[in-house]
Every structure is written in C-alpha cells, then in structure tokens.
Amino acid sequence: MIRFCSELFLGLSLALSAAAGTLPQSGHDEAVYYADAYAAHYQIPRELIHAIITQESGWNPGAISPKGAMGLMQLMPATAAEYGVQNPFGISENLSGGVRYLADLMQQFHGDFRLVLAAYYRGSRPILRCGLHYSGADVLAYVASVRRLYLAELALRNTPPNPAYGGNQ
C-alpha cells in the first residue's frame, strides 16, 4: 500500500510538472528528467542510473537487444511485465520500471554494487544460485564498464564516490 501511494504521488507530481510546462522538450532531456526523478524517488544515485542507461542503450529509447531487451534500460519482456511496463519504449514507463527493478535488486543484494549490476545484467536467480558470486567474462566486463561509467558521471558532477556503490572498489 505504501509503495502504491508513493508511486501515485510520484505520478501526480510528474503530471503536474507536465501540466505546468516544466518538462523538457527534447527526447534526451526528457530521459534525463525522468531518470533523475525516479532515481530520487527510489533513492538510487542518479549517476548510477545514467551509467546503466549509457551502457544498456546509449540513451536510445528505441533500442532493442539481440536477446529482446527493450528501451532505455533494456528491460526484458518478463521484467517489463512484472513491473507493469506496458510500453517499454515509452521513456517514463521504461525508466519507472527499470529504476524500480534496480531498487528491488539493491534491496535484495543489500546494496552490493557488483552483485546488483551482475543481477541487472544476468538476472538475480543465477547470482543467488551461485552463492552470491558471479563469473563469466561478459558479466565481469559489464560490471566493470558500468562502474567506469558511474565514476565518470560522478567526476562530471564533481561528486565524491560513495563506497557503497563501487566508488572505492
């Protein structure tokens, strides 16, 4: 019930912003706006969200992976359905579902940056099945790449790294 109410509040806040004309007009500006809003709502560093979007889709809301992941945060169809995303190419909807999924992974893996990213890339079941470890060159490369992008985002904003999110690892 609390999650529903907070999501309703966020939706109403975004709708009021749109009605007041404070939403950005260009696609990239719109994506940044919603990424930052959902990051703040779910208390995930916006720099991490930006890094994941850069890695996953290069900020292309129409991106489709060879495995069928869609949109800015490259949601798989089952993940999109689980998080109520009906249009995975819709900027706000994709970011809402993707950031909420990331927040759930943060909770599930107690904020362990590497495990959260590995689970975002591979799915949480394989990470849990391996005893909270991950391997595979592709997973290691993904985690390292997102970490580099995250640190670059922090540097752009002159924000000190947070060790909880891979800043000193």
> Is the separation of the CB atoms in 98 and 75 below 8 Å?
yes
| CB-based burial label for 135 (10 Å; 0-12, 13-18, 19+) | exposed
CA distance 77 to 61: 15
Closest CA to 150 of 50, 79, 63: 50
* Residue 46: C-alpha distances to residues 36, 41, 117, 134, 151 (Å): 6, 10, 15, 25, 12
E strands along 10-154, which residues? none
The residues annotated with a catalytic role in the active site are 56
